Every structure is written in C-alpha cells, then in structure tokens.
Amino acid sequence: MGLLKLLTFPVSGPVSGGRWVLQTLLDEAERRFYDTTAIQEELARVEQLHRAGEMNDAEFEQAEEALLRRLLEAQAYHRRKRHEAKPHERSFS
C-alpha cells in the first residue's frame, strides 16, 4: 500500500493539505463565533453604548436580541462538543 501512496502523492498530497487548511480555518472560525466570553463582552459594549446615548432603544434591542440568540447557540454548541468528546458509556444492567 505504501507504493500506491507514493505514486499518488503528487495528486493526493495537495488535496490532503488543502483539506487540512480548510478544516483549520473552519475550526478557528467556529472557535471565534462560539466564544461565549467574546459574546458577553460584546453585550456589555452594546449596553454601554446604549447607556451613553450612542445607540437608540430600537438599535439596542435589535443588537441585544441578536447577541443573546448567538450566546444561546454558542452554549448549545459547547454542550454538543462536550457530549461528542465524552466516550459513550454503556450500562450493562
């Protein structure tokens, strides 16, 4: 099987490398999008802008709703990831 890999490397090598790069980019994008700390910081920033009068009530409510929805999605995402990372436990009762 090693000879087949060696012979197909000129084609499979760049494809595998491209797949790795795309997966790495996707992982980083997910990490940033679902970062609950960053979302909470953005919520605090939006609230601060609203209190300072730099954002009207409608803009604030729209931004807050979008961020709260994103925060809930992020929490669900992290729960799914934790569940997927746990080895499946079987009960032999």
> Residues 6 or more apart from 71 whose CB is under 8 A from it?
36, 39, 40, 43
90/88 Cα distance (integer angstroms): 6
CB atoms within 10 A of CB 36: 13
The reported pLDDT for the residue numbered 19 is 84
pTM tops 0.75: no
Q: What is the pLDDT of residues 51-87, one digit of tens each?
A: 999 999 999 999 999 999 999 999 999 999 888 887 6
- Residue 23 inside a domain? The answer is no
Report if residue 15 sits inside a domain: no
Please say whether the beta carbons of 15 and 24 come within 8 A. Answer: no
pLDDT at 90: 53
Domain residues for the domain of 70 are: 28-84
pLDDT at 51: 97
Structural domain contains residue 22:
no
Domain assignment present for residue 36? The answer is yes
Structural domain count, the chain = 1
Residue 61 lies in a domain: yes
| 19 is a domain residue | no
CA distances (Å), 71 to each of 43, 51, 52, 66, 89, in order? Answer: 10, 21, 24, 9, 29
Whether residue 65 lies inside any domain: the answer is: yes
Asked whether residue 77 is domain-assigned, the answer is: yes
